[in-house]
Amino acid sequence: MGRRENIFEKIDHLDNVIHVLEATANSHYNPNDKMWNVLLKARDRVSKPIEDEKKRLYKEVEDLDKEA
């Protein structure tokens, strides 16, 4: 697997972190459960750093494409 593909795999994994936290909260809990709030707060806490990392990774792909 090439470097570009590895970067997109990282991006997918980062997206999955957010998705899993949301899906777990919404599938197994309801707004009245403490764990629902814990999971969604965790999602909110990691969303910004994950989005920043994804931007950095997309920039890296852009730079790789320019070199090609």
Could you state, in order of their start, the residue ranges of all structural domains in the chain? 3-67
User: Which residues have C-beta within 8 Å of that of residue 28, sequence separation ≥ 6?
Assistant: 35
pLDDT the model gives residue 1: 76
**How many Cα atoms occupy the beta-carbon half-sphere of 54 within 13 Å?**
15
- SS3 of 4-66: the string is HHHHHHHHHHHHHHHHHHHHHHHHHCCCCCHHHHHHHHHHHHHHHHHHHHHHHHHHHHHHHHH
pLDDT in tens, 21-66: 999 999 999 999 999 999 999 999 999 999 999 999 999 999 999 9
pTM of the predicted model, to two decimals?
Answer: 0.84
The pLDDT-based confidence of 68 (bands split at 50, 70, 90) is confident
Chain CA centroid to CA 39, Å: 14
The pLDDT-based confidence of 9 (bands split at 50, 70, 90) is very high
